[in-house]
Amino acid sequence: MEKAKSRRQRWGIVVLTVGLTAVGAISTMAAPPPLIPRKLLFGNPEKAQPRLSPDGTRLLYLAPDKGVLNVWIRTAGKDDDRVVTADTLRGIRIAFWAEDNVHILYMQDKGGDENWHIYAVNLKDNSVRDLTPYENVQASPVATDPSFPNELLVQMNKRDPRAMDLFNINLTTGEARLVGENPGNVVGWVPDNNFKVRGAYAATAEGGFELLVRDNEDEPFRSLIVWGPDDQGQPYGFTPDGTAIYVGDSRESNVSRLKAIDLKTKQETVLAEDPKVDLGDVMIHPAKHHVEAVSFNYDRNRWRVLDSAVAADFAVLGKLGEGEFSIVSRDHADHRWIVAYDTDTRPARYYTYDRDTKEPAFLFTTRPDLEEYDLAAMKFVEVTTRDGLVLPAYLTLPPGVEPKNLPLVLDVHGGPWARDTWGYNGEVQWMANRGWAVLQVNYRGSTGFGKSFVNAGNKEWGRKMQDDLTDAVRWAISKGYADSTKVAIYGGSYGGYAVLAGAAFTPDLYVCGVDIVGPSNIMTLIAAVPPYWQPLLRLFHHRVGDPATEEAMLKERSPLFSANKIRVPLLIGQGANDPRVKQAESEQIVAALKASEQYVEYVVYPDEGHGFARPENRLDFYGKSEKFLNKYLGGRLEN
C-alpha cells in the first residue's frame, strides 16, 4: 500500500522493526473458484504508481513497454499517453516529478545490487541524464521543494562507502554541491522549510539514535534528542515557523507518539497518540508545513484528522470504498489529489479527487484482469503465545472449501523489523487460490505495536521469535483450520531465515519449506553487511547479537550449524547480486544439506538481488514454488 507524502517529497531514513479474536463466520461456495493464472498475480501490473505534475496538468505512471516497466505520461483529461523512458532489463519501480514540471526523476540499479542511480528525463527534448554517474555508489533522494524547483537533495556515499553525504543537485546542469558532510554516524538528513539542512539523524555508539539540529547551515549541529537502543524515534520535518521539529517519539511511552519539540527550549507538545500502537503515516501540508492527519494501524490502518481543513475531504474519501485509502500525490495548489485504495480482495485502485467539488473519479486499477476472479478475504486474528504475548496475525482461507483441516502455509514476513498488514497480497492470493490456508504472524520483534513488542525480540532469533511461529501453527491446528500433517513454512529475507530455522529447530512441525534470500549463518550475515550499514551495526548487535562477545550464541541460533537436523525438503531461491544477504548464505546451507543427503532444490538468478524484481524471474520461481508446495501439500496446480 502506498503511503501519504507531502508535496515536499520526504523519502525519510532507511534503518536496517491460546486466546484469540474470533475469525467470524465464513461462507463457503459450492466449489473452489477458477484457478488464477500466475501471470496475473506476478507479472507486470497494467499500470501503477500514478503521480500528478506539480501544476496538476499531467500525470505520470508506470506501465510495461515491450514487457518492461517504464515511465509514461499523459495530459490530464486526454488520451495522449506516451512512454518517456527506455529501460529494457530490470524495469523502473520508483519515479516522481521534479518540482519544475519539466523533469521526471527515476531510480535504477544494476541487477539488484542496490547501488541506485537517479536519472532525470527532460520532457522538453526527451533527453535522459544520470544525475549520480558513479560506480559502486548508492544514491537516494532526500527531498524536493516547490520553492526550489530546479534542485534535488540526494544522499550518496561516493566520498566514503560507509557514509552518506548530502548533495544539492542542479537539475539543469547536473552539478552536485556538497551541503552535508557525514562525520560517519549520520543515517539521514532533515532539510527545513527553506531547503536548508538543519537536521540530522545519527546513530549512537550505544546502538540508539540522536537527533541533531542547528539554527542555520553555518552553525555546528547540537543534540536535541537521544534515543536509547530500546526506544523508537524519527524526525518528520520542521514546523511552519521553523522553531520546532515534528518527531515520532517513544521515550516516555511504550508507543511512538507524534510530538512537536522546540529547538531551543526542548519543550514537547504531544500532537497525536494511540495507547495501543505506534504512530503510522504522517501527512504534512505541502506549502504550509503543518500536520494535517496521522494514521494508526493495529488490525487496519485508520486516519485521525488533525487539521479541520481536510476533515470534509477525509469524510468523502472514507465513504468511497471499503478499503484503506492514502493520498499519494497532490498538485502545488492542493486542489487535486491522487488517492490509492487498498483492500484484501482486489488489487490497488487509484482515483483522482477534486477538493473543490469533493468529487472523486476512478483512474485505474493496477491489475484489471484480476478483478474478474474471486479473491480470498484476509481475517485479523490474535494468537497468544506460550509466555502470554498476544500476536496480531492475519488468516486467509481458500474460498469454496470447508475451512477445516486445510493444508497451511505459514508465510513469515521479512525484516524482521517490519510487519504484516491487512490488504491485497499477491502471494497470499496465489496460495489461497491453490487451496492452502495462509497464516501471517506479527511475531515479537515486529514493528508498529510498541517498543516492548519490538524489544521482546532482542537476541531471540531462532528462539522466542521462532517459538511465536511454532505457537501460531499450533493455534491454527487446535482451531481446526490446519491439517497438522500438511504445514509448510515460507518466507523471504528474515522470513527465509525463519524457514531454515523452522526446518532445523522444529523439524517435525513442517513438511517442507521455501526460503527466499534467507541468511543461514548469523555470523557471516553480520560480517558481510554493506558498508553503508556500518553506522547501524551497534543496533544490530543489540537486537541480534555481537559476534565479538556472543559467538557461541549466534552459532547456536544459525541454521547452518544444525543442518544435519533438517529432515524436510527445502526450496531455496537466491539473487546473485544481493548486497544484504550474500549468495554465500544460500550456498553454504545448500552444500551442508547435500553433504548430509537432505533434499534441497536450489535456484540462483544472476540478474537479481534481495528479492526477484524481473517478472520473468518471479514467474519462474513461483512456478517452481507451486510445484514444490503442491508435491507436499496437495491442492491445485497450474500447468
Judge whether 603 and 625 are in contact, CB under 8 Å.
no
Residue range 487-492: average pLDDT? Answer: 98
Position 321 scores a pLDDT of 76
Cα gap 95→105, rounded to integer Å: 6
Q: Is 169 exposed, middle or buried (0-12, 13-18, 19+ CB in 10 A)?
A: buried
Query: Is 452 among the catalytic positions?
Result: no
Q: What percent of the chain has pLDDT over 90?
A: 94
What's the half-sphere exposure (Cβ side, CA atoms, 13 Å) at 256? 28
Residue range 285-309: average pLDDT? Answer: 97
Taken in order 506, 512, 514, 518, the sign of the CA dihedral is positive
Position 74 scores a pLDDT of 97
Q: Does the pLDDT value for residue 6 go beyond 50?
A: no
SS3 of 242, please? coil
Cα gap 299→314, rounded to integer Å: 20
DSSP state of 609: B
Judge whether 70 and 85 are in contact, CB under 8 Å.
yes
CA-wise closest residue to 2 among 327, 374, 433, 427? 327
Q: What percent of the chain has pLDDT over 70?
A: 95
The 291-297 sheet, strands edge to edge: 279-284, 291-297, 301-305
The CA dihedral of 55, 57, 62, 66, to the nearest 10 degrees, is: -140
Active-site choice (103, 413, 541, 610): 610
Q: Does the pLDDT value for residue 17 go beyond 70?
A: no
Cα gap 395→378, rounded to integer Å: 6
Cα gap 58→78, rounded to integer Å: 9
Judge whether 423 and 297 are in contact, CB under 8 Å.
no
SS (H, E, C) 151-165: EEEEEEEEEECCEEE
Q: Does the pLDDT value for residue 1 go beyond 60?
A: no
pLDDT band for position 493 (cuts 50, 70, 90): very high
Active-site choice (493, 520, 558, 625): 493
Position 9 scores a pLDDT of 45
Position 304 scores a pLDDT of 98
> Which tens digits make up the pLDDT trace of 120-138?
999 999 999 999 999 999 9
- Summary count for the chain: helices (H), strands (E): 11, 35
CA-wise closest residue to 375 among 324, 334, 419, 426? 426
For 434, phi and psi rounded to 5 degrees? -85, -5
Query: Is 308 among the catalytic positions?
Result: no
Residues 6+ apart with CB under 8 A from 77: none
Beta strands, E only, 161-204: 163-170, 176-180, 186-191, 197-203
374-633: which CATH number, 3.40.50.150, 3.40.50.1820, 3.20.20.80, 3.40.50.1000? 3.40.50.1820
Cα gap 15→131, rounded to integer Å: 24
Position 2 scores a pLDDT of 53
Judge whether 514 and 602 are in contact, CB under 8 Å.
no
Count of CB atoms situated within 10 Å of the CB of 185: 19
SS3 of 511, please? coil
Output the pTM of the full model: 0.94
> Which tens digits make up the pLDDT trace of 65-94?
999 999 999 999 899 999 999 999 999 999
Active-site choice (542, 578, 586, 625): 578
> Which tens digits make up the pLDDT trace of 337-370?
999 999 999 999 999 999 999 999 999 999 999 9
SS3 of 40, please? helix
Residue range 430-437: average pLDDT? Answer: 98
Structural domain boundaries of the chain?
A: 374-633
> Which tens digits make up the pLDDT trace of 178-222?
999 999 999 999 999 999 999 999 999 999 999 999 999 999 999
pLDDT band for position 322 (cuts 50, 70, 90): confident
Residue 22 or 587, more confident: 587
Residues 6+ apart with CB under 8 A from 458: 230, 445, 542, 543
Q: What is the DSSP code string of 351-387?
A: EEEETTTTEEEEEEES-GGGGGS-PPPEEEEEEE-TT
Query: Is 578 among the catalytic positions?
Result: yes
**Mean pLDDT for the chain?**
94
Cα gap 607→577, rounded to integer Å: 7
DSSP state of 434: T
The 336-343 sheet, strands edge to edge: 324-330, 336-343, 346-354, 359-365
Position 31 scores a pLDDT of 86
Cα gap 197→55, rounded to integer Å: 26
Cα gap 423→321, rounded to integer Å: 13
Q: Does the pLDDT value for residue 27 go beyond 70?
A: no
> Which tens digits make up the pLDDT trace of 522-540?
999 999 999 999 999 999 9
Position 8 scores a pLDDT of 42
Residue 583 or 320, more confident: 583
